[in-house]
């Protein structure tokens, strides 16, 4: 009958074992020197500087896009509500990626239906720019404007 392997709950990999040994030594040293939190933080910062250790850059997360079926259903519900202003505002937010603060400053004189452009006055950084008016918004906007 083969021997069953004993479970080693105290067993750590070589790298983890080395790290835990370093932690133990640091704890002993910090207790011996009676370092408080601020002193310990100061020491750690200077050790990082002397070793040239830098915090790794955060990976930028890409925004998750909604599936086309969800967007279609979302806009169907908005159209069913019957509030044309809400429909235009939400379509502009989704399709042009303008900010809410830019959206609320748009006036009817800022919309150029002939060239399908919207003039954004005092956008981010107090800059002015033009953005394209999505074709899906044109019928709704023309119905509201007349």
**What would the mean pLDDT of 75-88 be, rounded to a whole number?**
83
Q: Is residue 121 part of a domain?
A: yes
Number of folded domains that form the chain: 2
Q: Is residue 59 part of a domain?
A: no
| Confidence at residue 29, expressed as pLDDT on a 0 to 100 scale | 92
Looking at the fold, whether 78 and 106 belong to one and the same domain comes out as yes
Looking at the fold, whether 32 and 83 belong to one and the same domain comes out as no
Q: State the Cα–Cα distance between residues 110 and 120, nearest whole angstrom.
A: 7
- State the residue range of the domain holding 42: 14-51
- Provide the CB-side half-sphere exposure for 121 (13 A, CA): 8
- 50 compared with 6, residue with greater pLDDT: 50
| Confidence at residue 11, expressed as pLDDT on a 0 to 100 scale | 47
Looking at the fold, whether 95 and 33 belong to one and the same domain comes out as no
Question: Sign of torsion, CA 77 81 83 86?
Answer: negative
| Confidence at residue 50, expressed as pLDDT on a 0 to 100 scale | 92
90-99 residue pLDDT tens: 888 888 878 8
Percentages (nearest 5) of helix, strand, coil residues in the chain: 55, 5, 35
Q: State the Cα–Cα distance between residues 17 and 36, nearest whole angstrom.
A: 26
pLDDT band at 143 (very low <50, low <70, confident <90, very high): low
Q: Is residue 96 part of a domain?
A: yes
Looking at the fold, whether 46 and 107 belong to one and the same domain comes out as no
């Amino acid at each position: 009958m083969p021997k069953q392997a004993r479970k080693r709950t105290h067993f750590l990999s070589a790298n983890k074992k080395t790290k835990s040994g370093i932690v133990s030594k640091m704890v002993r040293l910090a207790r011996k020197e009676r370092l408080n939190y601020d002193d310990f933080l100061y020491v750690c910062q200077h050790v990082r500087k002397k070793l040239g250790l830098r915090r790794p850059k955060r990976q930028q997360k890409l925004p998750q896009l909604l599936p086309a079926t969800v967007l279609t259903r979302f806009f169907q519900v908005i159209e069913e509500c019957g509030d044309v202003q809400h429909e235009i505002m939400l379509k502009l937010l989704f399709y042009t990626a303008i900010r809410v603060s830019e959206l609320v400053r748009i006036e009817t004189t800022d919309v150029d239906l002939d060239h399908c452009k919207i003039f954004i006055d005092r956008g981010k950084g107090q800059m002015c720019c033009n953005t394209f008016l999505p074709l899906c918004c044109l019928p709704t906007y023309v119905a509201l404007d007349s």
